Chain A
Amino acid sequence: MPSPLRNRFLLPLMFGLAVLSLVACRPPEPRGAAGNDVTAAEAEDGLRIRIEFETTSVGPAPVTVHVLDGSQGVSGATVELQGDMSHAGMQPVIVTALPGEPGVYRADDFAFAMAGDWFVTARVKTADGRVAKHETFVTVSGR
């Protein structure tokens, strides 16, 4: 038979441990904002992705995505761009970037619908089946 002491403290103890274990698992924060028209790059699945914004003001904002394998541009990939605001619930901007020169993909129809903080995700799938994703953060000016 469990002791009264155990009965009394078991539930709060379990609750406390559950909370602490959740807290200990705090996920990493998103990376800091990129400068407005500057982009970051990262390696994933052997690929490097670079995102360039023509402008970071509200309205049409053509985006160029560079997909590199080492120093070589990757042709024939599918590149999708998604722009989300830092606030939940806004309709994301989702467009497909079209290929130009080898490794260069351009989305002329990308647009920032609202001023504020955005993060833009480029999802790349190469012809040989490799996938990579890169996110960058921008502050969009309304004025």
Chain B
Amino acid sequence: MSLRAEARTSGPLVDQPRGFDLFRLPGVRRFVRWKYARLVFQLPLLALAIFVIVDGLTGRQIAPRNVATTAVWLHYRGLLVIGLALVGNAFCAGCPLMLTRGLSRRLERLLPGKLAWPRPLRNKWLVIGLLVAFFLSYEIFDLWASPWLTAWLAIGYFAAALLIDVAFPAGTFCRYVCPLGNFNFALASVSPTQIVAVDPDVCRACEHKPCLHGRYSAELPMADTPAAFIATSQVVNANGEGYFPGCETELFVPTITSNMDCTLCFNCVRACPYDNVGLSVRAPGRELAKAPWARRGRLAVMAMGVLLTFWGVMNAFAMVPAFYDLAEWLSFQLGTRNEAVLLGLLYLGATLAGVGVTVLATTLADVAGGGKPSPRRAFERWGYVVVALGFGFWAAHYTFHFLTGALSIVPVFQHFFEYRGFPIDPNWRLAQLVPSRWLFGIQALISAAAAAVAIVTTVRIALRDFGRRGVLAMWPLLLFVLGFTLLQLVILAQPMEMRGTVLGPTF
């Protein structure tokens, strides 16, 4: 933002979308302002998590017949990307891990006080490490085939959220630790909605910034409140009394330019005493051409977004015959059948190749635009293009699995009860949501849509940063988009094999 813009005394603080505010739909604003609105989203997912843990630990250890493996690896992932594409970060909005808050507050009393999250970890590098550990564990331990391990993964998530929430300030887990949440944050950059200030001038005049710090409201003034006291009578469209927490990931509504770190918890909506927070519809990927991560994490955030793209390629590539041929070849060359070693090397290779090609293309783009060759600056400038492509790959892959087995949740739950003695006969014929012949077409459509977002992002960045020379600067990235999309379609068109067959069966 220029100094001139900062000196303005009215109008928006930053460039936020001005689309239709979804909270204007009948009843939505009132519901979201309700103190317990998030609980409505969280309780169904908590119930599902309980089923996952119980069936994973005590049910039949056969993946397609167990709630743990089916709900987590099929439905959760599929609905996650569909939610991100159609609405936004819906799964963080309903995250049941945050329901450990009651227990964490009790445990907090055992500690002298909250610890500060270490400064070297206040970025996304730890998350990147946890993400790669997660993806490797998924392959090495065949998590997708093990209800038992899937249940333990869920328990581990709850335990980690609880422990970090006890020891460190609220929001630390979401922002700096949670691999799933950060996966959602990165891909939500393509989502068609964003939290915005309805009237930025109201935010300019706001003294306490409750959307960020929280507020305490009651009829009569009180001392020693956990946040700024604002009398209920002064709250526009008052939504109850008590403490309304602000943004735990430290986002200030009128300055939000990205969905990065936004859990869609709507704390800001409830905490705002002026009812001045909206959920604006925007063009998918709008933020990608506006360099929003330059103000929030820079290199580490971009690295996470770009790496997720290439790990998405690996995650899909690991299901096609070419991957098994490659693994066999590598196994022969190295004289080992140690899956951890082979998968680690394959992931390392994909990571280096992906980052290498990205840095090459982005640096070439800068040079073509007349800029000085600075790989890091180029990576931070153009990396958003790769993030858009990554969304397409993850969405196409997970949508495929979801569509092939969405209805299986019915017999899987029937089996849950049948296994425990209820007289139910599961209808195993329920599985596919659409005919098989449609699947590649749907995947190709998703790939093309993501490529279109990536192309628009490329053109906008080129023209924004290089003016007329942007016409030259955009070409290396446009060729990158073309190459990546072709690779994506080739991988998605391969006959799929299920993991675990090259180096031994999964059972």
CB-based contact A116/B57 at 8 Å: no
Complex Cα distance, B65 from A20, in Å, reads 24
In the complex, chain B residues whose CB is within 8 Å of the CB of A28:
61
Bound-state CA distance A15–B497 (Å) is 40
Least distance between B324 CB and chain A CB atoms (Å): 8
The reply to whether B401 and A116 contact each other, CB–CB distance below 8 Å, is: no
Contact of B64 among A29, A90, A140, A141 (CB under 8 A): A90
Q: What residue of chain A has the Cβ atom nearest to residue B401's Cβ?
A: A89
A142 touches B497 (CB 8 A): yes
Cα-based distance from A29 to B431 in the complex (angstroms): 24
The complex places the Cα of A116 from the Cα of B59 at a distance, in Å, of 23
Q: Which of B204-212, B357-365, B499-507 is found at the contact surface with chain A?
A: B499-507
Are B506's CB and A88's CB within 8 A?
A: no
B334 on the A face (CB < 8 A): no
**Is A117 a contact partner of B57 (Cβ separation < 8 A)?**
no
The smallest beta-carbon distance between A93 and chain B, in angstroms, is: 10
Given A26-B57, A92-B429, A139-B505, check contact A115 B497 (CB 8 Å): yes
Q: Which of A47-55, A64-72, A79-87, A101-109 contacts its partner?
A: A79-87
Among A83-135, those with CB < 8 Å from B are 84-92, 94, 114-117, 119
Please tell me which stretch of B38-46, B102-110, B113-121, B384-392 contacts chain A, meaning at least 4 of its Cβ atoms lie within 8 angstroms of it: B102-110
Check A27/B61 contact, CB under 8 A, given A11-B103, A89-B431, A143-B321: yes
Q: Is A22 an interface residue (CB 8 A)?
A: yes
Residue A23 CB within 8 A of the other chain: yes
User: Is the CB–CB distance between A86 and B431 below 8 Å?
Assistant: no
Tell me the minimal C-beta distance from B20 to chain A in angstroms.
35
Known contacts being A84-B64, A89-B408, is A117 close to B431, with CB within 8 Å? no
Say yes or no: A88 contacts B405, CB within 8 Å. Answer: yes
How many chain A residues touch B (CB < 8 A): the figure is 38
Is A19 located at the chain interface by the 8 A CB criterion?
yes
A84 touches B498 (CB 8 A): no
Which residues of A are found within 8 Å of B148, using beta-carbon distances? 26
| Contact status B106-A11, CB under 8 Å | yes
B163 to chain A, nearest CB (A): 12
List of A residues within 8 angstroms of B65 by Cβ: 84
A6 sits at the interface (CB 8 A): no
Give the interface SS of chain B, mostly helix, strand, loop or mixed: helix
> Number of B interface residues, CB 8 Å?
48
**Among A11, A82, A86, A92, which residue has the most Cβ atoms of chain B within 10 A?**
A86
Among A19, A22, A26, A116, the residue within 8 A (CB) of B500 is A116
Which residue of the partner chain B has the closest CB to A25? Answer: B58
Do residues A30 and B62 form an inter-chain contact, with CB atoms below 8 A? yes
A residues near B255, Cβ cutoff 8 Å: none
Is there contact, CB below 8 Å, between A88 and B69? Answer: yes
On whether A22 and B64 interact (CB within 8 A), knowing A87-B145, A89-B431, A91-B405, the answer reads no
Q: Are A86 and B495 closer than 8 Å at their CB atoms?
A: no
Please give, as numbers and ranges, the residues of chain A lying within 8 Å of B402 by CB-CB distance: 89
A115–B148 alpha-carbon span in the complex (Å): 24
Query: What is the CB-to-nearest-CB distance from B490 to chain A, in angstroms, rounded to a whole number?
Result: 17
Would you call A91 and B507 a contact (CB within 8 A)? no
Decide if B60 is an interface residue (CB 8 Å cutoff). Answer: yes
Given contacts A92-B431, A117-B501, A137-B505, contact A85 B64 (CB under 8 A): yes
- B404 & A94 in contact (Cβ 8 Å cutoff): no
Is B432 an interface position by the 8 A CB rule?
A: yes
* A residues in contact with B499, CB < 8 Å: 87, 116
B475 within 8 A of A: no
Tell me, yes or no, whether A40 is within 8 Å of chain B by CB: no
The answer to whether the Cβ of B136 comes within 8 Å of any Cβ in the partner chain is no
Is B395 close to A, CB under 8 A? no
Q: How far is the CA of A117 from the CA of B64 in the complex (A)?
A: 12
Which B residues touch A91, using CB under 8 A? 404-405, 431-432, 436
For residue A141, which residues in chain B have a CB less than 8 angstroms away from its CB? Answer: 501
- 25 inter-chain pairs at a CB distance below 8 angstroms, sorted by A residue, are A8-B109, A11-B106, A22-B57, A27-B59, A28-B61, A86-B62, A86-B63, A86-B507, A87-B63, A87-B499, A88-B63, A88-B70, A88-B408, A88-B412, A89-B74, A90-B64, A92-B429, A114-B495, A115-B495, A115-B501, A116-B499, A117-B145, A117-B498, A119-B507, A143-B321
Q: Which 3 A-B pairs have the closest CB atoms?
A: A89-B405, A116-B498, A89-B74
If A88-B63, A114-B495, A119-B62 are given as contacts, then 17 extra A-B residue pairs at C-beta distance below 8 Å, sorted by A number, are A8-B109, A25-B57, A27-B60, A29-B61, A86-B62, A86-B64, A86-B507, A87-B144, A88-B74, A89-B431, A91-B404, A115-B321, A115-B501, A117-B506, A137-B507, A141-B501, A142-B321
